[in-house]
Copies of this chain bind each other. A is one copy, B any other.
């Protein structure tokens, strides 16, 4: 359901599947990634349902493109979704599952290695979002509090990404310190079971 509504949302102006993929990767992917093949299939379904129309146009670069645009019914569906309840659904984090069971290895050193790699990746993600923010900040007058209305809402979601990303990174670093403290304690008290 969400992918459909995101496509409807992005189609405020007419776009092709390929162009939509570009927009996903540029600004939406950090809370909703999508593959090209999935986008094409969903656009087709939306057209069959009467929420989108399409038209084939020559491209300025490359072969012809199939350009989609919202119908009035599509716009109504989008607005109904936006006016409805916040969809707070399930979340799945494989790396947390790994941390949860890491005791199984019986080696705090392995935990430390794991968390160090994780910190690297979390930091990279956060840095990518910070780069996006810098782009907004330099290209948008009065960022963030006087941004024009059509930029305000996307910027809100970016703020969440930044704050949650920072919280995750901070947790990872704190966890590394806690593991190190445990390792240090163990070295100082090696004869635990004697």
Contact = CB atoms under 8 A, between A and B. Distances in A.
Contact of A171 (B149, B164, B178): B164
23 contacts: A5-B98, A5-B101, A9-B104, A32-B92, A33-B90, A33-B92, A82-B98, A82-B104, A82-B105, A86-B95, A86-B121, A88-B95, A91-B91, A91-B93, A99-B156, A100-B153, A100-B154, A103-B150, A156-B178, A160-B168, A163-B170, A164-B164, A166-B167
Give the number of copies in the complex. 2
A118 B88 contact: yes
Interface stretch (A14-22, A39-47, A54-62, A109-117): A109-117
Interface in A115-130: 117-118, 121-122, 125
Contacts of A85: 117
A39 to B, nearest CB: 14
Contact of A104 (B78, B95, B159): B78
Given A33-B92, A79-B105, A111-B153, 16 more contacts: A2-B92, A5-B98, A32-B92, A32-B94, A33-B90, A78-B104, A82-B105, A86-B118, A88-B125, A89-B94, A99-B157, A103-B149, A103-B153, A145-B178, A156-B175, A156-B178
A169 to B, nearest CB: 10
Contact of A157 (B6, B89, B100, B150): B100
